[in-house]
Amino acid sequence: MILNIQNETSRLRAVILGTAESVGPIPSIEDAYDPKSIQHIKAGTYPLESDMVKEMEAVAKVFKKYNVDVYRPKVIKDYNQIFSRDIAFVIEDKLIKANILPDREREYEAIQHVLDHIDDDNIIVLPEECHVEGGDVMPWNDYIFIGTYSGDDYPEYITARTNMDAVIAIQELFPHKTVKSFELRKSNTDPKENALHLDCCFQPIGADKAILHKNGFLVEKEYEWLLDFFGKNNVFEITKEEMYNMNSNVFSISEDVIISEKNFTRLNGWLRAQGFTVEEVPYAEIAKQEGLLRCSTMPLIRM
């Protein structure tokens, strides 16, 4: 398999879609990875496996409609394997293994049947000190956008997933690209004040547009840089509530086709007004774990 990812929106040809089969029992609060999951565990509204399986199958059906090759992880009993974006990501023809939370190492092992089709030279394992997850990494043509957190209190945040060591390592891997990092707002307790990954508050769409949430960025001038880069008229600004519901975490099949959650009425209306085809799916149950469509997909080939 020859990998090829230059950006977020070129025509998708092959993708790894996570699986909700055998996700296991509702986790304890101590075992949850993010404040939104904790909120739903406490409220007794944590999503059911059967509902999440249906939601993911709706996405698989859309991929089939557009003739996309879909790979699924090998199912591990009682193990959450929904968010395939966390475990690895592709830039150009390289698959970079994410240095994820130690508890999640088996998720990577479950895609070995896909890795077997990729040349070993094109699989990169970063040094141990480089923390990174795919939700923070966005190839965008000549740029690579990366969400990070560089505060001294980084170790205290379960929600801080990508550090500056990883940003530097990725710049060294792709010296011909401009790597642009963004400091994200983190909270272990309030999901409305937490940008778990960059794609929780920003995502490029189409050829020159973006979805953006100002409060997800710790440094206002970094948010303003993105606003200037895409142009204010090309940016859809989402509210705190829309960020909480994961409105920026849609997924592009091509420059003019986007998979979006069916309840994102304001966003979906704007997308259609911009000329996009919007494939609506139910994904509100999966969103309770602070991840949505981009989080549960890992593109391998776009061209």
Buried b (16+ CB within 10 A) or exposed e, 101-110: eeebeebbeb
Q: What's the average model confidence in pLDDT over 72-94?
A: 96
Q: Answer yes or no: is 124 within a domain.
A: yes
Q: What pLDDT, on the 0 to 100 scale, is given for residue 217?
A: 97
Overall number of domains in the chain: 1
| Alpha-carbon gap, residue 151 to 147, rounded angstroms | 13
Q: Answer yes or no: is 6 within a domain.
A: no
Q: Answer yes or no: is 3 within a domain.
A: no
27-41, 68-82, 135-149: the lowest-pLDDT one? 27-41
Q: What pLDDT, on the 0 to 100 scale, is given for residue 31?
A: 86
Q: Answer yes or no: is 1 within a domain.
A: no
| Alpha-carbon gap, residue 267 to 272, rounded angstroms | 9
pLDDT band at 289 (very low <50, low <70, confident <90, very high): very high
Q: What pLDDT, on the 0 to 100 scale, is given for residue 102?
A: 74
DSSP state string for 128-170: TT----GGGEEEETTEEEEEE---TTGGG-TT----HHHHHHH
| Alpha-carbon gap, residue 19 to 3, rounded angstroms | 22
| Number of helical (H) and strand (E) elements in the chain, helices listed first | 8, 15
pLDDT digits (tens, 9 = 90+) for 148-176: 999 999 888 988 899 999 999 999 999 99
pLDDT band at 119 (very low <50, low <70, confident <90, very high): very high
> Is the pLDDT at 101 greater than 90, yes or no?
no
CA dist list (Å): 219 to 146, 182, 225, 267: 14, 8, 10, 25
CA dist list (Å): 52 to 138, 171, 243, 286: 26, 36, 20, 6
User: Residue 170 belongs to what domain range?
Assistant: 12-302
CATH code of residue 240: 3.75.10.10
pLDDT digits (tens, 9 = 90+) for 188-197: 899 899 998 9
The pair of three-digit structure tokens given for residue 261, joined into one six-digit string: 């959650």
SS3 of 255, please? coil
Q: What is the pTM of this model?
A: 0.95
Q: What pLDDT, on the 0 to 100 scale, is given for residue 57?
A: 98
